[in-house]
């Protein structure tokens, strides 16, 4: 994949899937903007990339604020002169605890403000530049299998992730005349240090038995498909949702699919065993 001289903004790149995506882009010679609300972890990622000889800057950004996403876009343009790729990835949940009645209203709203309005804000800040430049562009939105199927107890997280899919389709149509591809990835269960942290080993083990691949995924398993959708190999793909879940959604079989996940004929590579 040829990404020479490309510039990518990745939101939520201080951790997990965003961080793995920032590393993957940098390794493909993309100039990377690490945009994150966390100034300490965000700067660590950007400094690490710079030490490896890659081009990267950190821009502290709360994606729920249109003023801050405007600043993110203008600082990127000042530093690199253009924006080729936007990866909308920053997301939150509150441990998926609480249903629509029990979860405080402020939390319900904050999830939508970050996970859905955050993506809209970033698109509104970046798209005018992409349109004006008339060189196309790529937007990849990180949704979730929870945007396609609900995991309970859940609240506005599911609504946000379904909303991202609607946003992806609408933007894809709106921006096609400018040759800006807009697609989404829908990760399954991914072992990340943030919202994908393994707090409960019983749940990790249940995933091993329910996911045909036999384990949760690594952040880099999502970074690869994001790179593909940001590349010229995906020139004619727009408005699509790429599910990346080790086969999780492919089956509605009620029994565990993998009765003994520790005796695979071929090791699935298990991030939860590697972390231990």
Applying CB under 6 A, the residues found at the interface with ligand NAD are 11-12, 14-18, 36-38, 41, 61-64, 89-92, 114, 118, 142, 144, 187, 189-190, 192-196
Question: Given the complex with ligand NAD, which of 27 and 272 has the nearer CB atom?
Answer: 272
Q: In the bound complex, what is the minimum distance in angstroms from residue 178's beta carbon to ligand NAD?
A: 25
The H or E element containing residue 185 is strand 180-187
**Catalytic residue (choose from 80, 157, 207, 248):** 157
From residue 53, alpha-carbon distances to 23, 49, 85 in Å are 12, 7, 21
Question: Given the complex with ligand NAD, which of 157 and 260 has the nearer CB atom?
Answer: 157
Question: Given the complex with ligand NAD, which of 54 and 58 has the nearer CB atom?
Answer: 58
Beta strands at 56-60 and 7-11: parallel, antiparallel or unpaired: unpaired
From residue 163, alpha-carbon distances to 127, 137, 140, 169 in Å are 19, 22, 14, 10
Residue number with the shortest CB distance to ligand NAD?
Answer: 194
Question: Given the complex with ligand NAD, which of 12 and 154 has the nearer CB atom?
Answer: 12
Q: In the bound complex, what is the minimum distance in angstroms from residue 191's beta carbon to ligand NAD?
A: 7
Q: In the bound complex, what is the minimum distance in angstroms from residue 132's beta carbon to ligand NAD?
A: 25
Quick one: CA torsion of 214, 228, 117, 49, rounded to 10 degrees? 90
Yes or no: say if 9 and 69 are a contact pair by the CB < 8 Å rule. no
Q: In the bound complex, what is the minimum distance in angstroms from residue 171's beta carbon to ligand NAD?
A: 17
Q: Is 157 a catalytic residue?
A: yes
How many angstroms separate the CA atoms of 115 and 92, rounded? 7
Residues paired with 139 in a beta bridge? 86, 182
* Cα angle 181-184-190, degrees, rounded to a multiple of 5: 145
Q: In the bound complex, what is the minimum distance in angstroms from residue 177's beta carbon to ligand NAD?
A: 28
- Taking every pair of C-alpha atoms in the chain, what is the biggest distance, in angstroms? 55
Residues belonging to the chain: 276
Question: Given the complex with ligand NAD, which of 89 and 181 has the nearer CB atom?
Answer: 89
Give the active site residues.
Answer: 157
């Amino acid at each position: 994949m040829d990404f020479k001289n490309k510039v990518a903004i990745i939101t939520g790149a201080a951790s997990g899937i965003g961080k793995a995506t920032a590393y993957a882009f940098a390794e493909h010679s993309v100039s990377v903007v690490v945009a994150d609300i966390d100034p300490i972890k965000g700067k660590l990622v950007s400094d690490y990339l710079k030490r490896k000889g890659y081009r990267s800057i950190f821009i502290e950004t709360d994606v729920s604020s249109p003023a801050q996403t405007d600043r993110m876009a203008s600082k990127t343009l000042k530093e690199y002169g253009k924006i080729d790729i936007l990866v909308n990835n920053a997301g939150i949940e509150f441990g998926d605890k609480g249903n629509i009645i029990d979860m405080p209203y402020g939390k319900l709203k904050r999830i939508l403000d970050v996970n859905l309005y955050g993506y809209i804000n970033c698109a509104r800040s970046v798209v005018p530049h992409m349109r004006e430049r008339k060189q196309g562009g790529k937007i990849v939105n990180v949704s979730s299998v929870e945007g396609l199927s609900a995991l309970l107890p859940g609240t506005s997280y599911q609504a946000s992730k379904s909303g991202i899919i609607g946003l992806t389709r609408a933007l894809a149509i709106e921006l096609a005349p400018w040759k800006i591809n807009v697609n989404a990835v829908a990760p399954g269960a991914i072992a990340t240090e943030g919202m994908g942290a393994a707090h409960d080993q019983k749940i990790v083990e249940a995933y091993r038995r329910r996911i045909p691949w036999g384990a949760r995924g690594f952040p880099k398993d999502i970074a690869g498909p994001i790179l593909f959708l940001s590349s010229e190999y995906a020139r004619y793909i727009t408005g699509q949702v790429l599910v990346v879940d080790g086969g999780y959604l492919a089956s509605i079989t009620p029994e565990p699919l993998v009765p003994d996940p520790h005796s695979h004929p071929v090791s699935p590579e298990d991030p939860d065993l590697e972390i231990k």
